[in-house]
Amino acid sequence: MLTKTEENYIKEIFTIETITKKDVSTNSIAKKLDTKPSTVTDMLKKLATKKLLSYQKYKGVKLNNKGKTIALSVIRKHRLWETFLVKKLNFSWDEVHEIAEQLEHIKSDKLTNRLDQFLGFPTVDPHGDPIPNANGEFTKTKTICLTKLTINTESIFVEVKNASDKFLKYLSKNNIAIGSKIKILYIEEFDNSVDILVNNKQINVSESVAKNIYLNN
């Protein structure tokens, strides 16, 4: 049985590994978990003896299958609870993370699976992140380009096609982030620019911007 702390390390390593696709460094973990590298080293040794990851001095770590399974289970719980908080208890999607950080460590497979069922087996959480199923698999979510969305529908921004600095800067300047709920209002026939509602504010984005925004389908 893993402690809460051990689960947090495993989860964080999984997340970093998924993004960087390289062995995970001690420092990167320390930064994310807001702890000291020496503390991380100690924990990595412990997790290695528990056979959840492979660790080589000075070379970083890599989760093995057992480690990945645990990471996915914690992530699954986190995202199911976030969904519960938003869908059933009417929390807004920006205030659920901290609570889900606590709830993700509740140990009961039966609870997790009943919650999943109660929520109707959702495949994405309120931020648009995929929810692994009971076997740790996510169903590849089909995404749709903003330019293809039906007028007046609302969806969650889940993916950027062009992740250039300039584009991401444009998005943050306009308060659009992965996870943002976007409602499409109107497509201007003259220049194919799009009127959207995001954070209760209406803005107009050009066709080249719209082409890079993908939403849940």
Partner DNA sequence: AATTATTTTTAGACTAATCTAAAAATAATT
Partner DNA sequence: AATTATTTTTAGATTAGTCTAAAAATAATT
Cβ closest to DNA, residue 106 vs residue 151: 106
**Residue carrying structure tokens 């209760």:** 200
Q: How far apart are CA 137 and CA 159, in angstroms?
A: 19
54 belongs to the binding site for DNA (CB under 7 A): no
Q: How far is the CB of 41 from DNA (least distance, A)?
A: 4
Strand order across the beta sheet in which 213-216 lies = 143-145, 213-216, 154-160, 181-187, 194-198, 201-205
Contact 114, 121 (CB under 8 A): no
164 belongs to the binding site for a second copy (CB under 8 A): no
DSSP-derived 3-state class of residue 144: strand
DSSP-derived 3-state class of residue 55: strand
Reported as type and span, the H/E element at residue 159 is strand 154-160
108 belongs to the binding site for a second copy (CB under 8 A): yes
Q: Report residue 143 as tokens.
A: 């995404």
| Number of residues lying near a second copy (CB under 8 A) | 18
Q: How far is the CB of 161 from DNA (least distance, A)?
A: 24
40 belongs to the binding site for DNA (CB under 7 A): yes
Among 64, 118, 148, 188, binds a second copy (CB under 8 A): 118
**90-94 own/partner pairs: CB under 8 Å, 24+ apart:** 93/126, 93/127, 93/179, 93/181
Q: How far is the CB of 178 from a second copy (least distance, A)?
A: 20
90 belongs to the binding site for a second copy (CB under 8 A): yes
43 belongs to the binding site for DNA (CB under 7 A): yes
Q: Which stretch binds DNA (CB under 7 A): 29-37, 78-86, 148-156, 170-178?
A: 29-37
Q: How far is the CB of 26 from DNA (least distance, A)?
A: 4
**Contacts with a second copy, residue ranges (CB under 8 A):** 85, 88-91, 95, 98-99, 102-103, 106-108, 110-111, 114-115, 118
